[in-house]
Homo-oligomer: A and B are copies of this chain.
Amino acid sequence: MYKKISIHDIARQLNVSSATVSYVLNGKAQEKRISAEQEKRILAFARQAGYRPNMVAKSLRTGKSKTIGMLVEDIADPFFSSIAREVEKIASQLDYKIFYSSTENDTRITQALIKVFRDAQVDGYIIAPSPGIEEEVQALINDQLPVILFDRYFPGLPTVNVVVDNFNGAYQASRHLLDQGFRHIGLVTLDSAQVQMSDRLAGYAAAMGEEGFKPRVLKIPYRLPPEKIAGKIKLFIKQNKDMNGVLFATNYLAISGLDAINSLHKKIPADMGIVGFDDNTHFSLFSPAVTAVAQPVQEISQQVMKMLMASMTDIAGNSRAATVVLPTRLVIRESSLQAINKKYPSV
């Protein structure tokens, strides 16, 4: 195995101490009053010898790893992977590396992953928390470790959170369907008590309430395979004969929902108007194109990184709990346009 050159090797070759080399290489020559001449020599030698610092040793000594641990629900989910992409871009500019892992929204898995990150001494945590990890998150806070939660959070914990306005997103989507003349609207959501889901439910319910309609909600268990989801949705539709609109609370529920509606030979939007939560690159290519509540991926990522960097540079624990709420954007496409409007398919 090849051998990398160390700071000591440089020191020996140049007859200086490794301290001097270290100072120079860290740009502290001035501050430490190393002569300009030495500085040149050392820099030149290091460059020519292809010196590369050993980050591991550096980490051991400084306690900083220049690494961030990021926990998402599923890195293959387009929402999370596009956030990961943006976060990575910003992180690399700031000279940070990222460990990603998928939690599958599972408590045990998430707990284990947090442990792994701790062992690896990551400098900061970016987490889309799964249910039941309040204690672990609290422990991170207690240990003064920088943590940002995103997409959802625990209302009781003093964390820094970055989320979208789920209530309004769902409210607007529901209002839009109502305004388009769909009166009997159902909500297909996850059987989850997580805040992002209950907010969406509340937003939907609020809009229904305004019209004096009572909500009809289908809650799908987590980790159900797509066919089963479609099956449940079919049943839901059959059991609500007069339902002529559906709001889907997540990306993949909408996908399964489309399947279900198609297989019932209902026409969208003639027979049923639909809106999905969380936009998708492909929704515009579906036929009909699917209306969706778009999340500002780039802003979310930027806020996450901004808040994380703030937490990391703050004098330990100085960063206050806070929740950044970003607006969603309703992207109106064909799937939610009432027949009367379809004469002008300008969208």
A residues near B (Cβ < 8 Å) are 1-2, 52-57, 59-60, 65, 67, 74-76, 78, 81-82, 84-85, 88-89, 92, 97-102, 113, 115-116, 118-121, 142-144, 255, 258-259, 280-282, 285-287, 316
Contact = CB atoms under 8 A, between A and B. Distances in A.
A101 B89 CA distance: 9
Contacts of A74: 85
Contacts of A287: 286-287
How many subunits of this chain does the assembly comprise? 2
Contacts of A316: 1
6 contacts: A81-B81, A92-B101, A98-B100, A255-B285, A282-B285, A285-B286
Nearest to A143: B2
A74 B67 CA distance: 20
A120 B97 CA distance: 9
Given A76-B82, A119-B55, A259 B285 contact: yes
A255 B57 CA distance: 47
A52 B115 contact: yes
Contacts of A78: 76, 78, 81
A316 B1 CA distance: 7
Contacts of A75: 75, 81, 84-85, 88
